Each structure stands twice: as C-alpha cells, then as structure tokens.
Amino acid sequence: MRIVLLCVTAACTTTDVLPDTPEAPDCEPAGRLTLYALPPPVALDWSSPNNLLHSVQASREQGSALVASGDAVMGHSIGHVNFELDCGDDSIPLTGQTGGGYEWQAVTDGAGLLLRDTPGAMDDMELIGDRAETIADVAARQASGNLTRITFIINQRMCRRIKSFVDAYVHSGAYRHYSGAFRARRMEGAGCAIFGAGLVDVGGLLRRSLVTPAWARTTLIGSARIADFLGDGAYRYGGNLVARDESGTHWLWPKYQDVPTSASTPIWIFSPVLDAWSGPEDAPFDVPGASGEMRTKVPFTIYDPQLMAEWAEQVWRDAPATSLGATWTASTIERAHEITYDAHCVQPQTIPFTADNDDLFEDSDAP
C-alpha cells in the first residue's frame, strides 16, 4: 500500500491508494520560476505596421533617456522578458532569449521584419558580451520599478521539467534563431516573450488557451506588406504562424510551408501600404493549402512583453485576484511589483516538448 499526496488547489491532503499506482504527485515546494517582464519605454501601437514603427522609434528615444537617468542599463525599445529558475541543483541563472542586430532591414522589409530569422543567443552567454549587462539592467529596473515580476512557486518535478526544456533548447542550438514566427518548445528559435511564455507552457503552469489571448498580439499580415529585399524570396515556416481573427476564427498557416515574398522589390519604411495590415493590394500566395483569408494573408501571433507587463500590473492592483485560472498574491521588491502564484501542487506537463497542439489558442496538450 502506498501513501500519496493529492492536491486540491493550493492545499494538500493525504490518503491511501491501491498498490501499483503511478508515482505519487509531488506536492512539496522546491523553488521558484520568475519571469521579469520589461515593458517598452513607450507603449507600442500595433494598429498598423507604420504605427508600430513610429512607436518603436519613440520608445527607442525614451529608452535612451531611461539609461541616461540610471533607471535602466539597456533601452529595450520593444521590451524584453528575462527569467530565473531558483531550484537548487536544477537552477538556471538570470537569462532569456535575445537577438536582433539587423534593424537596418526594417527600412526595406516592411512587415517582413516580424518574420525574419536574425542571429540570437541567450542573455547569459558570454559570447554576446551582455551577461553582466543583463544582470545590471534587471537590478536597475527593479530599483526604479521599470519591470514587473511574475513568480511561480513550484515543486521539484516542475523544476526538472523546465530545466530539461531549457537544456534541450540550448543543446539544439535553437537559441541562434531570433524570430517572431518561431515557437520555442518546437526548438525552432524564439523571441524573448515567446520563450518566457514557452516556459510556462511546457510546465503546464497555466493553460495556453487562457495565456495566449492575454499575453499575445495576433493579426493577419497581407502579402503586399511583406518584402525580403536582397533575400531569397521566402521566410521560413514557424509554429507561430497562427492567428485568431475578430470573429473568433482560428487560422493556421499550412504546416512546414515557407512564406513566399518578393526578393527584389523593397517596401520602404513608412510607405503608405504599411498604413494597414492588409488590403486590396494583397495578391494570392502560391502556397498549397492556403485557403480562405490565408490566400492573401499570413496569420501571425507573437507574445509581447508589453501585454505581459500590463496584465501583471492589473493583477497586482486587484490582488489577491484570480486570473488565467490561478490565484495570485501581490508584493513589492524594491520598487518593482511582483505577483506570485503558489503552484507547488501543479504537476508538470508530460507530453514531449515538440508534440504540442498546432494552434496557439488551444491548450498545448489538447488533442
């Protein structure tokens, strides 16, 4: 006869079970996963590609002012997400997916910049030289209140699940690919918030069907807005080529089909065609299986540091509060707000990292 712990919300009770049952649930607190949501210095306007580009410019200027004042060390004009896993032998020091360095191509690629695969790295890697800078930036922002902490109290099995995912991601070399189109848990690469949300997802700490609408931007990008000037005429397929439109219809780009575009005609920054995400200028893609809206538009969903921070700040103001299926408490560390979910009785997801549901708006372990 075994004795196991059964978890009811955040509490645990003890009961007998029959012999030969599966291993008992882990219901002992063992550590913490903390996401650091760094919002952009100026809220970004996603109503059109041009408005997004204008707001990024304004945010870059304000980011420089934050650095000059000592309230930050890195400007992070589009925001950023770092994470830290404090779990004894399964710990991971402060890091996160980062990348970029090819911003000049925004001048000619139009909305294609969101799909471009640019060189990436993890923040703690010495090879890009900003490990100390990342630590200093988070410290400065925590002291000035320019970040929000999202913390999960977790058990040892959850620690191991998250650590094993990060180890597999790094070992695969996926970190070298920084793109809004890529899904971290599929070892494609990622952006910073995509990776942070991926940690929560692979652990099963929150349901993805609840997280994605709260933390992600979703749109359909018309073909006339996408260029690949001086490139090879296509953007590589990624698991984030998914969208949910205003009517609630879910659109999934044909799996493993790259996004074709013009390799010779630039779309200059602030061109009138970028005043909307789609329109009558959009021509059909030559892509098998692209039907309905996807005949002329690419579905795109990206997890966003701004939305993550705004959501967390609202939860902090409302706390104790229930959001995304969890109960959160609020605290303050230096001048930074923190929300905490005591998830130590949540058992980790067991499906393979890459075997999740194709639809980001469905739970990852849904059939």
Q: Which residue has the tokens 């709260």?
A: 214
Instruction: Give CA separation, 184 vs 31, 129, 198, 302, 309, in Å.
Output: 23, 23, 6, 12, 20
Tell me the pLDDT band of 16, cut-offs 50, 70 and 90: very low
Instruction: Give the number of other CB atoms < 10 A from CB of residue 350.
Output: 9
What's the pLDDT score for residue 127?
A: 59
Q: How far apart are CA 316 and CA 330, in angstroms?
A: 5
pLDDT tens digits, one per residue of 115-140: 999 999 999 986 554 789 999 999 99
- 130 phi and psi, to 5 degrees? -125, 25
* Residue in 291, 267, 272 with CA at minimum distance from that of residue 112: 267
Q: Residue 243 corresponds to which amino acid?
A: A
User: What is the reported pTM?
Assistant: 0.92
Least confident of 135-139, 264-268, 283-287, 363-367: 264-268
pLDDT tens digits, one per residue of 88-98: 999 999 999 99
Q: Apex CA 351: angle with CA 87 and CA 365, to 5°? A: 110
